Structure 1
Amino acid sequence: MTESIWITGIGLVSSLGEGPEVHRAALAGGRPVVDATGFAPYPVHPMPALDLDRQIPKKGDQRQMEPWQRLGTYAAGLAIDHAGARGLVADMHLVVAAGGGERDTRLDEAVCAEIARLPAEEGAKLLNERLASGLRPTLFLAQLSNLLAGNISIVHGVTGSSRTFMGEESAAADAVRIAAARLADGRSGDGARIALVGGAYVAGRWDMLLLYAASGQLWRGDWRPLAERAAAGGGIVTGTAAAFLVLETEGHARVRGATGIARLGPVRTTAARRRGEDSAARAAAALAEGLPLRPGYAVLSGATGAAVPTTAEDAFLAGLRDRGPAQGPVRQTADLIGYTIEAAFPANLALAALAVQAGEAPQALVTGFGAWRGEALALVEAI
């Protein structure tokens, strides 16, 4: 990077509520909000109550969005306001991490019930017929991942370049990495030096819960802290969250008189095969080479709770303690807000920025070990 990058705005919404103060207090000793019955046997961290009109004033805009799009658009507006950047949205670049839209679960259930009574060959034929005739054409449009970016542009007027990344946690980490790199080395093309980057995820979705359950990764039963879940064989508790950050070059922020929350240091990503020697722990260790860690640095861990990546992250952090400077406290943010998929990495960066701004540590290392694939590290430092 050729110029320092500041985080000047945070838009953070989770099951705990909205805004920096709510989440700063939670870091100091808050308790999670858990829905243990709505999607039993899978506990989730639910959507908080929001006054959507504050950030999405038109009811028509609200109605045409799915819940995760409303949540992300709302958080994006919070970030813009927090940065005092409403007058800069025309030149603001937008980088979003997003998953797919919500499925028509009633149709899914009806089709599954029908084909369960048929032989495999007949069931496959019926499945094709039902999908061809039952799905509304508009449903495909509503599921487009880049509609979150489109809604942010429409509602908040963010009309710089726009990019959407897919790929769960890796998408979010790469979104932050690429946004920061483009700002720092001038690759934005038109000379703009400010960007809005983030993602959103709603945990209360049967389609996604069943997807993760099919892989054996979800925790079943009463909520327990991540460490206890890991000791019992591992398990993910998903969380509802949206997190957006306003990033800008230090020079741009100083010229407009913006107050930086924290400095964003190196952001590094990779994707180990997680087989044999190409392990997640080894991949993360390679990412950590040359990181300017300082004694007493804190760790904001993106551990998911899934057995394999959580064990790998523990091994990686133990290696850092053995070889590097003295390590400060390690905080597993999934204990507070759950595992928030595309929102996880920017949410953890936001929490790290709030922690260093409050003087809890001079520096924070943010980790991201995806449930299936993807490793990421970032440094956040006090200004």
Structure 2
Amino acid sequence: MAETRTNATQPVEAWITGIGLASSLTEGLDAHWEALNARRVNVDTQSLAPYVVHPLAPISFDRQIPKKGDQRQMEAWQRIGTYAAGLALESAGLKGNKDILSKMDMIVAAGGGERDLAVDSAILNAEAQGNTPPGFLNERLMNDLRPTLFLAQLSNLLAGNIAIVHGVTGSSRTFMGEEPAGIDAARIALARIAAGQSDIALIGAAQNGERKDLLMLYEFGDFSLKDAYTPVWQREPKGGFALGSGGAFLVIESRAHAEARGAKPFARLGSVVADLAPRKQPGEVTATLQKLWSRLGPVQAGAAAIITGATGAEPVTSEERAFLRQHAELPVRASGSSFGHIMEAQFPLGIALAALSISRGALFAPNDPTGFEREMSGAPNQIVVIGTGHCRGEGMALVESIS
């Protein structure tokens, strides 16, 4: 079990001072807040049928990635992430601040890149005919793929592109491992700030969910939602997640650093805890979430809420729901109903939505016809963000108002 929290031995307070969101709903904070409270959902059940996806909303990448050459050498997930990172820096008032950007640490959670399906298909078809000459594969890869595509398979190129486009050139870390990678990005950033090893960090992730190769991979595990869209809590007993396209980035910095530059915080990141349930016996995820809750820090009933990245996949979503029923006094929101499942970015998205809600003095509207989600009348002072991976990894973050 790993955890990070601010306490007597780690007195440095961590503030969330920048949020960048680009998703299937829209881009930017005001537009997202409006879309969430209008209960809007953007899904596509036809283009990649029978699979349900949440496609990226129309975005002009020029606004955050001005050079067309930079855009061309990126795969879609990198463009989405670089764009969202720019929004976060803009939100924090740091765009173009070379002095701070040159010292800013960066922690990115990333997948393994995208495939060129046309080239892959041509190679497989030729190989299947059994008449390919020696060296055929190398020749095709060298001649058919543009030079940057091989590099586009590298997970750390999202961080590289953010450094190139936005000038974030402090230390850089890239974590892989689906949902737990996003949890660890937040956990490590908070640990470094709390320990005085870092003053300011950019963290986040992105995904292009409109990929046939990605859908194929998750179909092998029978994880995908098919045929028709339903909100997360309506997907039992079969379950499944609808992949989403989007990026979520956060600027997290020490209180002293933020105050010195006059930054206005959205909220405080109080603690991040993580674990890895064995998932060999029923109930192990529920038990692990219970342990994480006990280590998270005090949660005040009546002024707290929960935002979960619950996938909808089974049986893990039912086990998480069993845990949530033990805290039925707290209103719940499932981000997957509105955004789809954006894998590595789901936990940073949850933190972003929590910080945005606290800064707006309200929890956004429920989007759940089952009644599991309910309205919250008062302003939340604390929001617990839960990340439970579809096949591995559990984590929680405590996002709090600043008095």
Output one character per residue of 1:184-225: Cα deviation in whole Å (capped at 9) or x when no partner: 21123xxxx111000000110001011001111101101111
Select the residue among 68, 71, 82 that pairs with 1:62: 71
2:245 pairs with 1:226: no
Shift in Å at residue 107 of structure 1? 3.0
Comparing 233-242 with 279-288, which one deviates more in the overlay? 279-288
Equivalent in the alignment of 1:355: 357
Contact 1:26 1:336 in 2 (8 A): no
Comparing 142-151 with 104-113, which one deviates more in the overlay? 104-113
Contact 2:283 2:319 in 1 (8 A): no
Equivalent in the alignment of 1:145: 155
Comparing 220-229 with 153-162, which one deviates more in the overlay? 220-229
Shift in Å at residue 92 of structure 1? 0.7
Equivalent in the alignment of 1:368: 387
Structure 1 runs not aligned, ≥5 long: 322-326
Contact 1:196 1:245 in 2 (8 A): yes
1:61-100 equivalence runs, <5 A: 61-86=70-95, 87=97, 88-100=100-112
Shift in Å at residue 309 of structure 1? 1.5
Equivalent in the alignment of 1:272: 277
1:258-297 equivalence runs, <5 A: 258-276=263-281, 279-290=284-295, 291-296=297-302, 297=304
Shift in Å at residue 115 of structure 1? 6.2
Select the residue among 219, 222, 227 that pairs with 1:216: 222
Letter of the 2:16 partner, please give it. I
1:306-345 equivalence runs, <5 A: 306-321=313-328, 327-345=329-347
The separation in 1 between residues aligned to 2:139 and 2:200, in whole angstroms, is 45
Letter of the 2:109 partner, please give it. A
Letter of the 1:8 partner, please give it. T
Output one character per residue of 1:234-275: Cα deviation in whole Å (capped at 9) or x when no partner: 011011110000000111111211110011111011111201
Letter of the 1:375 partner, please give it. E
Select the residue among 296, 304, 312 that pairs with 1:305: 312
Look up the SS of the partner of 1:289 in the other structure: helix
Identity across aligned pairs (percent)?
49
The separation in 2 between residues aligned to 1:30 and 1:43, in whole angstroms, is 18
The separation in 1 between residues aligned to 2:61 and 2:89, in whole angstroms, is 15
Equivalent in the alignment of 1:103: 115
The separation in 2 between residues aligned to 1:132 and 1:279, in whole angstroms, is 47
Equivalent in the alignment of 1:324: none
Runs of 4+ in 1 over 4 A off after TM superposition: 111-118, 128-133
Shift in Å at residue 149 of structure 1? 0.3
Q: How many corresponding residue pairs? A: 367
Shift in Å at residue 318 of structure 1? 2.0
Select the residue among 34, 44, 51 that pairs with 2:43: 34
Contact 2:16 2:250 in 1 (8 A): yes
Shift in Å at residue 332 of structure 1? 0.7
Letter of the 1:339 partner, please give it. H
Output one character per residue of 1:68-97: Cα deviation in whole Å (capped at 9) or x when no partner: 101100110110010012322111111000
Equivalent in the alignment of 1:206: 212
The separation in 1 between residues aligned to 2:291 and 2:138, in whole angstroms, is 47
Letter of the 1:170 partner, please give it. P
Contact 1:95 1:164 in 2 (8 A): yes
Contact 1:272 1:278 in 2 (8 A): no
Letter of the 2:173 partner, please give it. R
The separation in 2 between residues aligned to 1:129 and 1:368, in whole angstroms, is 46
Greater helix content = 1
Q: 1:116 to 1:219 in 2, by over 3 A?
A: farther
TM-score (norm 1): 0.91
Letter of the 1:318 partner, please give it. R
Look up the SS of the partner of 1:108 in the other structure: helix
The separation in 1 between residues aligned to 2:122 and 2:283, in whole angstroms, is 42
Structure 2 runs not aligned, ≥5 long: 1-5, 363-379
The separation in 2 between residues aligned to 1:115 and 1:262, in whole angstroms, is 56
Letter of the 1:238 partner, please give it. L
Contact 2:190 2:271 in 1 (8 A): no
